Structure 1
Amino acid sequence: MFASFPVNKDNVKKAEVNVETTTVKVESPTIDPTVTDGVANEDALTPIAAAGYDKWVAVAFWFFLGWPFAAHRWYAKKPVWANILYIITLGGLGIWSIIDLINILTDNF
């Protein structure tokens, strides 16, 4: 995809060609030492992806953005349909919201 403003497509094509990879050689008596495994830098875990779920972040989302946006549910990767239903019903008229908070605090969310 390209941005909505004019982009020089020649520069974009040049950037796509310059992908760096890292080669890892493994030497072991049970593994063939001539085998190499190429891993692209994009495949490495980022600190954000490795961090995962933190219940106190979810509580902060529940407190500040829970009622209008269901931010704590999006953060916990709940199904999209359930998040939209939560927003439409205003957190199940407050009942689902309280249940969500209890489940977050007891690590059952």
Structure 2
Amino acid sequence: MFIFNLSFASFPVKRAEIVDTTVKKENVISKKSELAPSPILSSEKSQGIALILALTLGLLAAHRWYVGTPWPVNVLFIFSLGGVGVWLLIDIIRICVGTFNPQGRFKKSFF
């Protein structure tokens, strides 16, 4: 039923040589300004905007969408109504203190 066929190249094939892949110290970029920043880490969010979103649209997880929390956590937040308000209250406190920053960091100024 099944025919197994072994095929070979009809032309001569040379094996590839193993190339040395070690990086020399001369090739390493030493200045941070020459490196392209990651878009996730370079986007600083406003702490004030996150606080306003938490106070106004907090039960819809608007502040969490704004700072870049993963969507499954946001959906869980919405279905539990912000952990019946407790999770939302903790988020508001963490935004005021400045520790609520899952993706990146807040700007130095509040707004």
Which interval holds the TM-score relative to the shorter structure? Answer: 0.5 to 0.7
Runs of 4+ in 1 over 2 A off after TM superposition: none
Matched residue, 1:55: 47
User: How far apart, CA to CA, are the structure 2 residues paired with 1:51 and 1:86?
Assistant: 24
- The secondary structure found in structure 2 opposite 1:56 is helix
Deviations 1:8-41 (CA, angstroms, capped at 9, x unpaired): xxxxxxxxxxxxxxxxxxxxxxxxxxxxxxxxxx
Q: CA deviation at 1:52?
A: 2.3
Matched residue, 2:68: 77
- Percent identity over the alignment is 39
TM-score for both structures, normalised by structure 1: 0.52
User: How far apart, CA to CA, are the structure 1 residues paired with 2:77 and 2:43?
Assistant: 26
Matched residue, 2:82: 91
- The secondary structure found in structure 1 opposite 2:99 is coil
User: How far apart, CA to CA, are the structure 1 residues paired with 2:85 and 2:63?
Assistant: 14
Q: CA deviation at 1:81?
A: 0.6
User: How far apart, CA to CA, are the structure 2 residues paired with 1:94 and 1:65?
Assistant: 12
TM-score for both structures, normalised by structure 2: 0.51
How many residues are matched? Answer: 65
Matched residue, 2:22: none
**What 5-or-longer segments of structure 1 have no aligned partner?**
1-49
Change (3 A) 1:51 1:80: closer
Matched residue, 2:25: none
User: How far apart, CA to CA, are the structure 2 residues paired with 1:90 and 1:55?
Assistant: 22
Q: CA deviation at 1:51?
A: 6.1
**What 5-or-longer segments of structure 2 have no aligned partner?**
1-41, 101-111
Structure ranking higher on relative contact order (CA contacts 8 Å, 6+ apart): 2
Deviations 1:21-69 (CA, angstroms, capped at 9, x unpaired): xxxxxxxxxxxxxxxxxxxxxxxxxxxxx762011000110111111x1
Q: CA deviation at 1:79?
A: 1.1
**Structure 1 position 100 matched with structure 2 position 91:** yes
- The secondary structure found in structure 1 opposite 2:69 is coil
